[in-house]
A and B are shown apart, each in its own frame.
Chain A
């Protein structure tokens, strides 16, 4: 059963910060149910959340595609936004092009991409100005040894 592949797709709404993070929070739940070691779940959840927020704030919404197999979770976040003109600058901590309005809501601290880089085992960014951005994030995981026990209802 090692070659089993689980695919999931989520839409990411444009500029809707109330719903932002729902996809990553869903994926987190699934990884918990699969019994992935929590340390790796955190890596996947935080990096996916940051990418999702980026797509909401900068990308005008987009989509998330997830593939999970026996050793890793691959996260693809795509948007058709303005693209990133200077990727090197964007990878710097504290650099952000977010509007004041977004910053007032507590986002746009310039930690998104740096955080993803910190947590992801593989980070690939394909971006074209005027066309959009696609992030590929890969997290390799281990499972938790602790057994799952659900006995009969009492």
Chain B
């Protein structure tokens, strides 16, 4: 799998080869071939739109099985704040976190806490000099990858800080190693994720940085395990440590609000994100210092690997935010942290739409593409397996599709061929002409007879 690990993948058995996912994909990364939806690896940004849209649940996310925690001596769960919103309001956050200890974990550290560290670091970035504004949050890995393939001019605007997940993993691993006297390799840190993009960012980090997370378990997979032990959970330990600002990150707007500037814009839903990024790229967005862009509608609460409806989740999260705000013990003075959370590498533009590396050939292909596109019906029906007529034209010049993949083109060709056959059929070799003439005379006689019959009646 190498560089191209993707969490989002296809369940061959369930896929019917319909056109729902190809039309929804924001990077035109899916084609239907031999009745199955295929993903173009380089283009997929793991946003999970296809998982959400598929009526047959054929698109899925590869996450780690719960058993991945077993090989480690000391196991730490780091749940995304979205997790709190998945359970009924009567369970408070601390009880929920303590339940992790009943299902096989030794410790829990809230990613909401890591979010608070990232917030602080972002604040100083914004206040600093010489940065490209608006800064764009890098918390959502699908958005980062979207920028990498579609908005290369905005790479410099990204907040080059590690995500709350990575920061949390780093901090708790170091602390635990010191406190428990363990080797870092004996400590397993497991992220409890609402989305597929986070899985990819752990398994295939941007530009070969190494993730500190040892496994990623989906909220869906852990939900029932936690729920079944929740009633037995006792609040033996104060595991809830994050303040309301960290918890609020799960919401769209949470990260922006935490930063404490009026000049922020929060956008959620990948297609809305594209609209805003286009506006930034075209210099059409003014007076904004910070962009919080989240791939899922509703923010992380709307992640494809959650169990609860996003609106219900939003209401439930509010309760946790309010509680955290009211509790005095959660007025976090952030401890100093030694971790370096600034990116060591940068992400590099991936020109996945480029037609050819040779400019002359690219020009030729583009010319052909325009001609082919003009000839296609323009219905964007998807029956050819490409998301639009233009995408089919592009596939044809790339050599991965044919003009007759278009059912309208195919019909046109069949009709032309039929017309040609009819025309050929009427042509008679000279030696057979006699026969033909005789036949014609017979026909004439018949016609005459008919006319006579008519007259009689």
Contact = CB atoms under 8 A, between A and B. Distances in A.
Interface of A: 1-2, 4, 6, 8, 29-30, 32-35, 38-39, 41-42, 45-46, 49, 68, 70, 115, 143-144, 146-151, 153-154
A35 B369 CA distance: 15
A42 B360 contact: no
Nearest to A2: B360
Contacts of B360: 1-2, 4, 70
Interface in B188-246: none
Interface string B29-71: 0010100001111110000000000000000000000000000
B355 A70 contact: no
A46 B283 CA distance: 8
A115 B282 CA distance: 11
Contact of A33 (B4, B41, B152, B362): B362
A33 B354 CA distance: 4
Contacts of B355: 33-35, 148
Given A2-B360, A35-B359, A153-B38, A146 B282 contact: no
Interface string B363-384: 1111101100000000000000
A148 B359 CA distance: 12
A115 B359 CA distance: 29
Given A1-B360, A34-B354, A46-B282, A150 B366 contact: no
Given A6-B367, A49-B282, A34 B359 contact: yes
B445 interface: no
A150 B352 contact: yes
Interface residues of B, number: 39
A68 B352 CA distance: 21
Contacts of B38: 153-154
Nearest to B43: A150
Contacts of A30: 366
A112 B40 CA distance: 39
Given A33-B354, A150-B400, 10 more contacts: A1-B359, A1-B361, A32-B351, A33-B362, A39-B153, A147-B351, A148-B353, A153-B33, A154-B38, A154-B41
B57 to A, nearest CB: 19
B357 interface: yes
Interface string B70-82: 0000000000000
Given A30-B366, A45-B282, A148 B352 contact: yes
6 contacts: A32-B351, A35-B359, A38-B349, A45-B281, A46-B282, A70-B363
B120 interface: no
Contact of A151 (B41, B350, B365): B41
Contacts of B358: 1
